[in-house]
Structure 1
Amino acid sequence: MDEAHFEMAQRLQEAQLQNALDSRVQYQGESAEDCESCGIDIPQERRLAVPGCQCCFDCQTLREGRR
Structure 2
Amino acid sequence: MAGGWMADGAVQEQIDNSIEDAVQRARSQLPTGDSLSHCEACGEEIPLARRAAIKGVRLCVACQTERDKQQAVSGYNRRGSKDSQLR
| TM-score, normalised with respect to structure 1 | 0.69
Instruction: Tell me by how many angstroms 1:4 deviates.
Output: 5.8
Shift >3 Å, 4+ stretches: 7-11
2:46 corresponds to which of 26, 32, 42: 42
Structure having the higher Rg? 2
Partner residue in 2 for 1:51: 55
Distance in 2, matches of 1:54 and 1:48, equals 12
Partner residue in 2 for 1:63: 67
Partner residue in 1 for 2:20: 18
Pair 1:15–1:38, CA change in 2 (3 A): same
Distance in 1, matches of 2:23 and 2:61, equals 19
Q: What RMSD in Å do the two structures reach over aligned CA positions? A: 2.1
Pair 1:4–1:50, CA change in 2 (3 A): farther
* Structure 1 unaligned blocks of 5 or more: none
The one-letter code sitting in structure 2 at the alignment partner of 1:46 is R
Aligned residues: 63
